[in-house]
Structure 1
Amino acid sequence: MSNQYPQQPQPGWGQQPYGQPPFPPQPPKKTGPGKIIGLGCLGIVGLIVVIGIIGALVSGGSDSKKSSSSNDVKAAVPSKSSKPAGTGKAQSSEPKASPTKAKKTQKKTVVFKVWGTAPAGALGSLDITYGSDSDTRKGTFKNGKFEATLPLNKEAMYYNVMAQLQGSGDINCSVTVDGKTKKGHASGGYNICDAQLSSGLLGGWE
């Protein structure tokens, strides 16, 4: 009789043999503190970069809006040097005369006057002569006055007016040249009222 040990069943494929302990499970890998800190730093740096890019885009957009808005404002406001089309030639072709030039073009006159009371005598009420050194004229006294004008001649040496009474009366006379006036007076008898302005050395009248 043979001594045979009872046969034990063979382990299947992939199973541990009987009598041997199974392989112990491997512990999970622990993440070191250095790796955690490194990943955190990378995340912060990435976040800063993203914020910087967003800020640059926002600032660039605002600058472009400001420049475009300023350009729009400049375009909307007309320049002072700009002139409406078609108005420059019309203005230059029609110069306006200044008041000083208009005054210069007006001819100056000399004014002669006699006024008062003068009863008529043998030769009339008054004997009136007026004018300049080169132009003497006769005047007529009517209704208590006489007035006449002559164009101013710059070459004249003087302008005067003379009125002689014919026995009685009281009269005044005056001559005005270029804003300057000279007056005279006569009363009673055959007295003469005389007023004269002479051309001065400096061109004025005195």
Structure 2
Amino acid sequence: MIPAAFVILFIGVGIGASGGGEEKTAASTKPAPTVTVTKSAPTKDGKAKPAPTVTVTKTAKPKAAAPAKKPAEKPSEDEAPSGRVVFKVWGSAPAGVNTTYGSDSDSRDGSGLPMTKTLSVNDDALYFHVSAQLQGGGDINCSVTVDGHTKKGHASGSYNICTAQVNSNFTGGWD
């Protein structure tokens, strides 16, 4: 009995040592399935025992990420729907920003970043404007677009103001 144990020991050592000198990295090895065998408890009366339960657990490979969907095409900055004025303020303002927008006869308050507001063109307006003041610091941009004409502004630092204004050219167009 003892010699048989030594033979089994030497065979096990020989198998474990024969790796060909190559080490496998985690990236080059595939996870092997995990097999769990659960034996049934012996019965008292000696009758036939149910077969053992075998559970095989496989590690699933991660699925390739689905290609990212393109965001819906949005109009460029220089486009506004006909008869509409688009006001935008975007950037970073950790302490907040106070925003007003509108025309020479209609001024409104805006909030949050990014902000996009759209109003109808008032044919009697002399100009459309947006003004956004940083509250403590940040870096923001702003723009006003009317009939394909866009004016932009920028502000950076403490309490600076971003302004943009599109003016009527008195011939029915916008500058």
Which band: TM-score by shorter chain?
A: 0.5 to 0.7
Q: Does 1:152 align with 2:121?
A: yes
Task: Give the whole-Å Cα distance in 1 for the aligned partners of 2:132 and 2:122.
Answer: 23
What amino acid sits opposite 2:104 in the alignment?
Answer: D
TM-score by length of structure 2 reads 0.52
* Counterpart position of 1:184: 153
* Counterpart position of 2:94: 119
TM-score by length of structure 1 reads 0.45
Task: Give the whole-Å Cα distance in 2 for the aligned partners of 1:134 and 1:150.
Answer: 13
Task: Decide whether the 8 Å contact of 1:107 with 1:151 is kept in 2.
Answer: no
Alignment match of 1:128 (pick from 79, 87, 99): 99
CA distances 1:122-167 after superposition (whole Å, capped 9, x unpaired) = xxx00000000111000011xx300000001111000000000011
CA distances 1:143-193 after superposition (whole Å, capped 9, x unpaired) = x30000000111100000000001110000000001110000000011000
Normalized per residue, which structure has more helix? 1
Task: Give the whole-Å Cα distance in 1 for the aligned partners of 2:131 and 2:97.
Answer: 10
Task: Decide whether the 8 Å contact of 1:113 with 1:145 is kept in 2.
Answer: yes
Alignment match of 1:162 (pick from 131, 150, 153): 131
Name the larger-Rg structure: 1
Q: Which runs of 5+ in 1 are unaligned?
A: 1-105
Q: CA deviation at 1:119?
A: 1.0
Report which structure shows greater RCO (CA 8 Å, sep ≥6). 2
Q: Does 1:194 align with 2:163?
A: yes
Normalized per residue, which structure has more strand? 2
Aligned residues: 95
Task: Give the whole-Å Cα distance in 2 for the aligned partners of 1:131 and 1:171.
Answer: 19
Task: Give the whole-Å Cα distance in 2 for the aligned partners of 1:201 and 1:191.
Answer: 31
Map 1:34-73 → 2, pairs under 5 A: none
* Counterpart position of 2:108: 137
* Counterpart position of 2:18: none
Task: Give the whole-Å Cα distance in 2 for the aligned partners of 1:158 and 1:151.
Answer: 13
